[in-house]
Amino acid sequence: MAMNLTTTTTVPGYYNISNITEECGQKFPTCDLTRFIIYGVLTNLIGVFGILGNTVSMIVLSRPQMKSSINFLLIGLASSDNMLIITAILIFGLTGIDTCGITLFYNYSTFVLPKIFKLVFLLICTARIATVYLTLAVTVERYIAVCHPLKARSFCTYGRARMAVLVITVFSFLYNLPKFWEVELHEQIHWKYNITVYCMSVSELRKNAYYVHLYINWLYLIVYSLFPFVSLVIFNTAIYRRVKQANKDLKKLSHQQRSEIRLATMLLCVVIVFLICNILPLISNIFETFVEGGPPSLMVRFGHFLVFVNSSINFIIYIILGETFKKTFLKIFLSCWRQKQKFRQDSIESQTTNVSIVSSTSNIELDSVNHLNHSNTINSNNIVHSNVDMSNGGTSESVKLSRLVNSESCLYYAVKSPSQMSRTLNGYNAWGSRKRNHRSTL
């Protein structure tokens, strides 16, 4: 039997399972244009940008020169934001595309998502509360550093930041662990294609009145909304007053104090954006707790989208207001770009050098051939000259000298320089002269 999950599986303030699972096995799904635009288009586009931005933020903040307690908290915040975006795309984004006649992810929505929904739903709720409390941890750290600088050395340490991220992650997971058992999976035969499809239904735990009233309504309102919101407003009001006072006495501040003020200003903007993007989910949560029937679906969907935007936009704030972040970002990625350009330039120069070497080698070979021809011409002229000078018995001496010169030129023409060749020929001429003189005395 098909079960309609529209009114029985609402998770207040943030996740409404009716937005995730339609009536299982319905024959004629209706076109939901707002769902397609908010989830199918905007959520996916913002999500892809957010994943890239948060990943780049983690790379920059993890550099050795950026190591600090506040940056470690920001790395944890970027990680939880990425988990929130990825799970939101799996639950809302991909299924939002399959509406109004578009069936691009029909197999995913019908066969894959029901099997992984319990785990993904637990992870998205865990990431959501982790994002809230990591933002609160960042605010507390800045409050201590700006308003109580003498205590910052002992409280704002790298080890305490790591412990805070670990505690928040474990708390977020354990707090949301009951959500894993809120939904059950059952099989059903498709009405048209006679194949097995997987449908989700509400578990007995989720139907329990005490569970809904205490855990989902009141505890959710306090833990997810009221406590972090009130704390953020109080701490950031104190930070704002201190920053405003410091800007009046900016010349009296040291370089370290100015850096702390600039960082506090940037993170103050991060928290303001967080509060703006989470006001609508807070109102939806209040509606869910005190108003029968809950908030309108459009309010819930737009509240989801604002939360996704908040998880995707911190990178832009870091680039605009974070001076050290921007310098490190440019140093990392511009150096990578320059190395790539240098590699291309070296490749082009290497190819040009190879062509030059081949051309030079050809010229050298051509010069060697010309030099050989020139040397042979000189040898021939010298031999003729020797034959003319020797009148008595000169013919036999010319033959001997010709053989000697020819043998020498064949053995050494490739290595002798023109000057060496000239000295050799002069030696031959002198030897011929001595030989002729000796015969004359005999």
Percent of the chain at pLDDT > 90 equals 44
Range of the domain at 64: 30-180+218-335
Domain count along the chain: 1
**Given this model, what pLDDT does residue 411 score?**
36
pLDDT greater than 60 at residue 93: yes
> What does the block give as tokens for 366?
């051509």
- Cβ contacts of 274 within 8 Å, gap of 6 or more: 135, 232, 310
pLDDT greater than 60 at residue 400: no
Percent of the chain at pLDDT > 70 equals 68
CB 175 within 8 A of CB 111: no
On whether residue 8 sits in a domain, the answer given is no
On whether residue 267 sits in a domain, the answer given is yes
State the Cα–Cα distance between residues 283 and 169, nearest whole angstrom.
Answer: 26
Answer with the residue of higher pLDDT: 349 or 318.
318
pLDDT grade for 125, boundaries at 50, 70 and 90? very high
Lowest model confidence (mean pLDDT) among 141-155, 204-218, 235-249, 253-267: 253-267
Residue 178's Cβ-count burial label (10 Å; 0-12, 13-18, 19+) is middle
pLDDT grade for 351, boundaries at 50, 70 and 90? low
On whether residue 425 sits in a domain, the answer given is no
Euclidean distance between the first and final Cα of the chain, in Å?
Answer: 138
pLDDT greater than 50 at residue 118: yes
Lowest model confidence (mean pLDDT) among 189-198, 284-293, 353-362, 400-409: 400-409
The predicted-structure confidence for 229-263, as pLDDT tens digits, reads as follows 999 999 999 999 988 888 777 767 777 777 888 88
Residue with tokens 């969907």: 301
**Given this model, what pLDDT does residue 277 score?**
95
On whether residue 19 sits in a domain, the answer given is no
pTM of the model: 0.72
Answer with the residue of higher pLDDT: 128 or 293.
128
Residue with tokens 């051509």: 366
Answer with the residue of higher pLDDT: 33 or 247.
33
pLDDT grade for 393, boundaries at 50, 70 and 90? very low
pLDDT greater than 90 at residue 350: no
- Tell me the average pLDDT across 285-312: 90
**Given this model, what pLDDT does residue 440 score?**
38
Answer with the residue of higher pLDDT: 291 or 180.
180
CATH value at residue 56: 1.20.1070.10
Highest-pLDDT range among 119-133, 147-161, 316-330: 119-133
On whether residue 276 sits in a domain, the answer given is yes
Answer with the residue of higher pLDDT: 247 or 134.
134
Residue with tokens 């310098």: 327
On whether residue 10 sits in a domain, the answer given is no
Lowest model confidence (mean pLDDT) among 76-85, 96-105, 106-115, 416-425: 416-425
pLDDT greater than 60 at residue 76: yes
Phi then psi dihedrals of residue 21, to 5 deg: -120, 125
**Given this model, what pLDDT does residue 387 score?**
43
**Given this model, what pLDDT does residue 99 score?**
79
pLDDT greater than 80 at residue 361: no
Average pLDDT taken over every residue of the chain: 77
**Given this model, what pLDDT does residue 37 score?**
93
Rg (CA), the chain: 43
> What does the block give as tokens for 395?
């013919």
**What letters, b where the CB count within 10 A reaches 16 and e where it falls short, cover 152-162?**
beeebeeebbe
On whether residue 23 sits in a domain, the answer given is no
On whether residue 193 sits in a domain, the answer given is no
What secondary structure, in 3-state letters, does the chain show?
CCCCCCCCCECCCCCEHHHCCCCCCCCCCCCCHHHHHHHHHHHHHHHHHHHHHHHHHHHHHCCHHHCCHHHHHHHHHHHHHHHHHHHHHHHHHHHHHCCCCCCCCHHHHHHHHHHHHHHHHHHHHHHHHHHHHHHHHHHHHHHHHHHCHHHHHHHCCHHHHHHHHHHHHHHHHHHHHHHHHCEEEEEEECCCCCCEEEEEEECHHHHCHHHHHHHHHHHHHHHHHHHHHHHHHHHHHHHHHHHHHHHHCHHHCCHHHHHHHHHHHHHHHHHHHHHHHHHHHHHHHHHHHHCCCCCCHHHHHHHHHHHHHHHHCHHHHHHHHCHHHHHHHHHHHHHHHHHHHHHHHHHHHHHHHHHHHHHHHHHHHHHHHHHHHHHHHHHHHHHHHHHHHCCCCHHHHHHHHHHHHHHHHHHHCCCCCHHHHHHHHHHHHHHHHHHHHHHHHC
- Tell me the average pLDDT across 180-186: 90
Closest-CA residue to 310 (of 266, 287, 279, 265): 279
